[in-house]
Amino acid sequence: MQHSANNSSDRQNTELLDGKDFAVLIESLYVANLLILPILAFVVLALIFIKKHGELPTLADSHLEQTISASIWIGIIFFVAAITIMMMNLLGMEDVTLWIITIITFTIIHATMVLFGVFGLAKALAGKCWRYPFVGKPLPPGCIQ
């Protein structure tokens, strides 16, 4: 009896480690997408989502859903901001004013999403789930925060 209890405990620890490793990889790809490899890291993240979603341990699957959701939302936000800035240009706003608006908007959104990514990476390293504020999906039941 003692031996079977130890085996189930070892299995849970192995699953937690695998989930933790995947969660760290996923959050690292999200941060890399924002900082050093913008499109390439997102493509890898999307491929992992397509191939592994639902098959990973709860911790990794949660981080995968959060990072995909945040990546898509940041793309939508930047697209809407670009359209808005182009519309303001067509309405005759001065170029200097548009550049100021563009730089401030990009800096605030980008820095905020990088900060959220670093928080997510820290939570993944700790073996805990993380929900991105505003753009994150609800966490699955049983996910340790």
Please state, in angstroms and rounded to a whole number, the distance separating the CA atoms of residues 89 and 73. Answer: 24
Query: What is the reported pLDDT for 16?
Result: 52
Residue 7: is its pLDDT beyond 60? no
Predicted model pTM: 0.82
Reported as a pLDDT band with limits 50, 70 and 90, residue 17 is: low
Query: What is the reported pLDDT for 1?
Result: 45
- The encoded tokens of residue 139 equal 């966490």
pLDDT in tens, 42-81: 999 999 999 998 898 999 999 999 999 999 999 999 999 9
Q: Which of 119, 114, 18, 31 is nearest to 60 (CA)?
A: 18
pLDDT in tens, 116-128: 999 999 999 999 9
Query: What is the reported pLDDT for 143?
Result: 80
Domain ranges of the chain: 2-125
Burial label for 143, CB within 10 Å (0-12, 13-18, 19+), is: middle
Query: What is the reported pLDDT for 140?
Result: 84
